[in-house]
Structure 1
Amino acid sequence: MSLPDRAPFTDMSVFLKSVQWPVMPEVGQALIRTLNDEDADTYTICRIIGKDPALTATLLRMANSAMFGLSGTVDTLERAVSVVGMSKVRSRALSVCVAHSCNLPTGIDRLEFWRYSMLCAGYAQWLADLCDVDDQEAWLCGMMLRLGEINLGQARPSSLPQIEAKPIKPGERWLRQRQLVGFDEGEVTAELVQHWDFPEALVQGLRHTAQPLVSNEFRKLSVVLNLAARLAETGPITPEALNELPVILLEMLHLEPTTLLLDAPDADSLADVSAFKV
């Protein structure tokens, strides 16, 4: 791999001066505030989402698709919440707000980007369920993990073709990002969601995704996201994909490849990007 035309950043504060954060819509901001509010209830969530008719319509389409896994017709937000829970509806609503606020730079394939993000989210939720991690926080973080690459592309546009050059082995994108720009997408996404006032646990979970063993504090969420991102890079879960996962990370979560294979979700059902207008 050739060297970048400019030296990689070594100081995050300097890097941040070269990027522009996407603007979270008001509904998204209100939903983020509920993540820090223990008193937020179904009425609160539905009232916030209901202020945006387009978002409401999108969520109802999602509720009647394979994404929610429901049978029958869901025609109101209240019905969707009563069936799948407030946390799931909120995380899906936030994902739509996030996707609509982000403009992908030239050099990133939009369809591939969001399919990867949804697949990472789905795998993160699946793994979280197996190791006592909040599955909806994991889903949302998995969906947002790669957002930092947008800002890496803003700071070093010439690096994107090298970062995205195929083939990309699981975990290799992070290595390329650090080599070419100085930081990986998880570190930058952490700065973004901190700017958006997401809970600190999610910020730190994202920050240490690529290198979960470097952190002074063991964070299950970071390990879950690391494994989910690696699996999303390969697509459908196969014995080969599971065997390539870092053994030490699997052991930290008490997971076995053979057991995971028996319980693996269908990749196609997880990677529905229709709500993102790809």
Structure 2
Amino acid sequence: MSTKFVSLPEEEFADEAVGIIEKARDRGIVLRILGALAVYIHSKHERNALEIYKRIGRFGVDKPSFTDLDLAAYGRQRGDVVKLFEKELKFNYNVLMKALFMNKRLIYFHPKNHYQVDIFFDKLEFSHDVVFGDKPGKGRLDLDYPTITLTDLILEKIQIHQINLKDIIDLIIILYGHDISYKDEHEYINGKYIAEILADDWGFWYDAVTNLNKVKFFTDKFHSENKLTKEEQELIISRLNKLVKIIDEEPKTKKWRKRAEIGVSKPWYREVEEILDNQYTAT
């Protein structure tokens, strides 16, 4: 099946997405951008990061960078989100998704079919969970604007059991443009928080470490292909190593150690295909 891309220029799409977030804020709704567009927005302050994004090519050279608009919100504001998209923005919705999975996720379609919108409530549930919380004003969605935090963006990517190249490239771009910290700071990656999450979940840790190793492999590969300079490669790898060191040094919980004894002899991740088959049926 061919990939469907957003039919707007990148900057226009980004501006329109941020405009939706601003409308939500004006109505007291906490709505945040996640996924590739969040990576793009966080990279705009670092000019060279976007140049690398283009140089590597997320879907290949001369192809668009985005396939849809992914958003996160609090479930307690679900009714307000529905009103915003259906009554004010006039987006069309996926009937089956709304009927069966409204408590977790909604899918909308732009009135002119420029792009699809996926809205996740309280957490992402794919190979592993990325939890945002459920209380407006007290959850992780309140820590950044107009996107989720860089920390949660990293978790969003490294939780993928069968990670693909576009997500690896997103991680490379994030690491190029942002250093590692030990607390939540704007435009920094909170390595301590990531380490704490992984130290309590062996399955998540296993896939995360595997994926970070793949980031290193492809960073070196892109350098060998002259898609990254030596300086760019070294910066990305140094930050990657810093993050991995924090993860390694974080004390693991009893739950983690007990699950580690079982290892890969028992499934350690959620089958995403099953979720997609159940939830992506179009109207």
Q: TM-score surpassing 0.5?
A: no
TM class, shorter-chain normalised? 0.3 to 0.5
User: 1 or 2, which has the higher helix percentage?
Assistant: 1
TM-score for both structures, normalised by structure 1? 0.33
Between Structure 1 and Structure 2, the one with more strand by share is 2
